Amino acid sequence: MGGVLRADPLWVETFTGLRMSRFNRLLRVVRERGGEGPGRGRGRGRPWCLALPERVLLVAVYYRTNLTMRQLAPLFGVCPATVCRIVARLGPLLALEPVTRPAQVAERLWIVDGTLVPVRDRTVGASSKNYRFSANVQVIIDADTRLVVATGQPAPGNKADAHAWRDSGLAAHCEGVAVLADGAYVNTGLVVPHRRRAGRPLLRAQEEDNAEHRRIRARVEHVFARMKNYKILRDCRQKGSGLHHAVQAVAHMHNLALAT
């Protein structure tokens, strides 16, 4: 059975949201990380029935559309089991490399926030405030470029942002950089808004600081909206570390789409 989708500009730009030049950069990263290897890895096993560009396209289409394995299989002319193996093999290779701390840390500003991703795996998520079984994913972006700097390991969706932040391991990555966060991150060492105390209204200067804080911090919400164009982040059916790999791959593709 022949497939329909191929790694040419028409299909790539239509189904992934990436220009062909950006897709080629993603393909080069996957190739450098060993994506050309056989199906079983370590030099063993039969070769893949799809070339590497088609396999990378398959994973990108899966994350973008959230089609099932049975729906993707005829589009690429393979069986659902092969689709599953390709996603499991190449998904981690699409991951975002965390950005190193900038040389002039005093001049940079990062923003962190958590977003809830609905999941099916009960070992990863928990019943949360969006009335779904979700996982809390911490994401850091650069305030100037709106590029994703790093993402943390998913935490259960009923865990507060401050706890999810401490468990994510991202704090060590932000040493020396000013990081903005909302009021849920009190006592985490991040830059949070001024809090109103009982019987002590905020000063006018503090109100102005909070307004500016909200204006800048809104950029991370815009990034979440763009990332969730990849529908895998609206209803993730992956198990175990599959959600973490999906978030990192989506962050990588988001950065490529914004790259100049």
3-state per-residue secondary structure call for the chain: CCCCCCCCHHHHHHHHCCCHHHHHHHHHHHHHCCCCCCCCCCCCCCCCCCCHHHHHHHHHHHHHHCCCHHHHHHHHCCCHHHHHHHHHHHHHHHCCCCCCCCCCHHHCEEEEEEEEEEECCCCCCEECCCCCEEEEEEEEEECCCCCEEEECCCEECCCCHHHHHHHHCCHHHHCCCEEECCHHHCCCCCECCCCCECCECCCHHHHHHHHHHHHHHHHHHHHHHHHCCCHHHCCECCCCCHHHHHHHHHHHHHHHHHCC
pLDDT, residue 46, reads: 78
- CA distance linking residue 255 with residue 17, whole number of Å: 12
- CA distance linking residue 7 with residue 54, whole number of Å: 5
In this structure, are residues 77 and 141 in contact, taking their beta carbons and an 8 Å threshold? no
Quick: pLDDT tens for 14-32. Answer: 999 899 999 999 999 999 9
- CA distance linking residue 242 with residue 208, whole number of Å: 42
Quick: pLDDT tens for 98-134. Answer: 666 555 555 789 999 999 999 999 899 998 887 789 9
The strand pairing partners of 117, in sequence order, are 135
Task: State mean pLDDT over 36-62.
Answer: 83
Q: Is the pLDDT of residue 214 over 70?
A: yes
**Of 69-83, 88-102, 122-136, which gets the smallest average pLDDT?**
88-102
Quick: pLDDT tens for 132-165. Answer: 899 999 999 999 999 999 999 999 999 999 999 9
Q: What is the mean pLDDT of the chain?
A: 89
Q: Is the pLDDT of residue 202 over 90?
A: no
pTM value?
0.90
> Rg of the chain over CA atoms, in angstroms?
20
Quick: pLDDT tens for 162-183. Answer: 999 999 889 888 888 899 999 9
The pLDDT confidence band at residue 55, using thresholds 50, 70 and 90, is: very high
Q: Is the pLDDT of residue 50 over 60?
A: yes
Q: Give the side-chain half-sphere CA count within 13 A for 189.
A: 11
